[in-house]
């Protein structure tokens, strides 16, 4: 049977989430979630989103939908506020696969160049998890905050649609790693692009994650070919 993953898409509808300089959390979370879904589906993982458009999406409804779907893992996608800096993730105080998922996602996010404030737990009353999405979901669940929308320097890492999609795919790779699903090769329209990618990887000493980021960029294949030619 295929693995199942539930993606909570933070905020939506009348609840914009955090807002700064014309940017809205609810728009960013949807862009990341849709890209994450697409990448997971490419690997045969079944995915359900709490919303696929701009509509009201309260956390108690997210939890209800998640538990009804009975997924293997769940991820709630958010953008932080409060003038801090960097990515952070929360998992249950019990650790387990939730902790593994948070750490795997953090590793992929850092590979794209975003710094991290760490993976954390937060305890509420009676020693229970503070966040409902973690506390009340039946499966291992993580809340991921890509960065701070009200910190212009931090926001520069994820303020375009292309960057949000790249981070959504990074989330997917963290999920795949936690599930033990091998990552499929990067799809490319022609062999020339892949040869060029290997050239710049070798000559510039780049990591595989960096090559993936370049090829996933809107004009990535053309850029890779130009870079390889310049290195000849």
Residue 120, SS3 per DSSP: strand
Q: Where are the beta strands (DSSP E) in the chain?
A: 4-9, 19-20, 23-24, 46-49, 73-80, 87-90, 116-120, 141-148
Tell how far CA 195 is from the center of its chain: 28
From the list 145, 183, 192, 232, the catalytic residue is 145
Distance CA 126, CA 185 (A): 46
How far apart, in Å, are the Cα atoms of 78 and each of 25, 27, 89, 133, 149? 7, 10, 10, 12, 10
Distance CA 161, CA 223 (A): 18
Q: Is 61 among the catalytic positions?
A: no
Catalytic residue positions?
145
């Amino acid at each position: 049977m295929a693995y199942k993953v539930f993606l909570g898409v933070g905020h939506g509808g009348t609840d914009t989430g955090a807002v700064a300089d014309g940017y809205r959390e609810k728009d960013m979370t949807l862009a990341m979630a849709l890209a994450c879904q697409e990448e997971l589906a490419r690997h045969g993982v079944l995915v359900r989103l709490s919303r696929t458009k701009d509509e009201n999406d309260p956390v108690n409804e997210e939890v209800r939908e998640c538990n009804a779907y009975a997924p293997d893992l769940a991820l709630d996608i958010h953008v932080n506020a409060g003038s801090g800096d960097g990515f952070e993730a929360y998992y249950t105080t019990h650790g387990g696969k939730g902790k593994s998922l948070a750490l795997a996602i953090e590793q992929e996010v850092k590979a794209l160049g975003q710094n991290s404030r760490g993976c954390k737990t937060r305890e509420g009353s009676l020693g229970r998890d503070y966040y409902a999405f973690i506390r009340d979901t039946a499966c291992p669940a993580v809340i991921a905050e890509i960065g701070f929308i009200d910190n212009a320097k931090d926001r520069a890492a994820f303020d375009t649609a292309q960057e949000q999609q790249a981070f959504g795919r990074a989330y997917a790779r963290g999920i795949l790693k936690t599930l033990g699903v091998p990552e499929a090769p990067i799809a490319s329209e022609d062999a020339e692009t892949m040869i060029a990618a290997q050239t710049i990887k070798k000559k510039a000493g780049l990591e595989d994650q960096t090559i993936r980021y370049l090829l996933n960029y809107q004009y990535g294949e053309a850029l890779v070919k130009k870079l390889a030619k310049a290195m000849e």
